[in-house]
Structure 1
Amino acid sequence: MNYEIPKSTVAGQALALDNQFRNELLRRMTAEDLALLEPDLHRVALPLRMPLVTPDVPIEAVYFIEHGIASVVARTPGGHEAEIGFIGNEGMAGYSLVMGDDRAPQACFVQLEGEAMRMDAGSFNAALTTSPTLRLFLLRFVNSLQIQTGCTALVNARLRLASRLARWLLMCDDRVVGVRFSITHEFLATMLGVRRPGVTIALQELEGLALIRSRRGEVIILDRPGLIALANGGYGEPEAEYSRLLGETGSGD
Structure 2
Amino acid sequence: MSADDLALLEPGLHPVALPLRMPLVTPGVPIEAVYFIERGIASVVARTSSGQEAEIGFIGYEGMAGSSLVMADDRSPQACFVQLEGEAMRLDAGSFTAALTGSPTLRLFLLRFVNSLQIQTGCTALVNARLRLTVRLARWLLMCDDRVVGMRFSITHEFLATMLGVRRPGVTVALQELEGLALIRSRRGEVIIMDRPGLIALASGGYGVPEAEYTRLFGVIGSASELTG
Whether TM exceeds 0.5 here: the answer is: yes
Q: Secondary structure at the residue paired with 2:97?
A: helix
Query: What TM-score do you get using the length of structure 2 for normalisation?
Result: 0.96
C-alpha separation in 1, matches of 2:220 and 2:176:
37
2:36 maps to: 64
Q: Write the distance in 2 (CA, Å) between the matches of 1:248 and 1:88.
A: 15
1:109 and 2:81 correspond = yes
User: Could you say which residue in structure 2 is the equivalent of 1:99?
Assistant: 71
Between the aligned partners of 2:174 and 2:218, the Cα distance in structure 1 is 34
Give the aligned partner of residue 202 of structure 2: 230
Match of 1:165 in 2: 137
Mark the runs of 5 or more structure 2 residues left unpaired by the alignment: none
TM-score, normalised by the number of residues in structure 1: 0.87
Offset, 1:244: 1.1
Aligned-partner residue type, residue 244 of structure 1: R
Which one of the candidate residues 112, 116, 131 is aligned to 1:144?
A: 116
- Structure 1 residues 29-77: Cα deviation after superposition (integer angstroms, max 9, x where no partner): 0110000000100000000000000000000000000000000000000
CA distance in 1: counterparts of 2:33 and 2:221, whole angstroms: 29
Distance between the aligned counterparts of 2:100 and 2:219, measured in 1?
Answer: 21
| Structure 2 Cα separation of the partners of residues 111 and 160 of structure 1 | 23
More helix by share: 2
- Structure 1 distance, partners of 2:153, 2:184, is 11
Percent identity at matched positions? 87
Question: How big is the alpha-carbon RMSD for the aligned residues of Structure 1 and Structure 2?
Answer: 1.2
Deviation (angstroms), 1:246: 2.0
Q: Does 1:82 align with 2:54?
A: yes
- Relative to 1, partners in 2 of residues 1:57 and 1:249: Cα closer, same or farther, differing over 3 Å? closer
The answer as to 2:103 corresponding to 1:131 is yes
Q: Which residue of 2 aligns with 1:118?
A: 90
Structure 1 residue aligned with 2:180: 208
- Give, in whole Å, the separation in 2 of the partners of 1:244 and 1:104: 27
Q: CA deviation at 1:247?
A: 3.5
Unaligned runs of 5+ in 1: 1-28
Letter of the structure 1 residue corresponding to residue 208 of structure 2? G
Secondary structure at the counterpart of residue 149 of structure 2: coil
Q: How many correspondences in the alignment?
A: 223
Aligned to 1:177: 149
One-letter amino acid matched to 1:180 = R
Other-structure match for 1:20: none
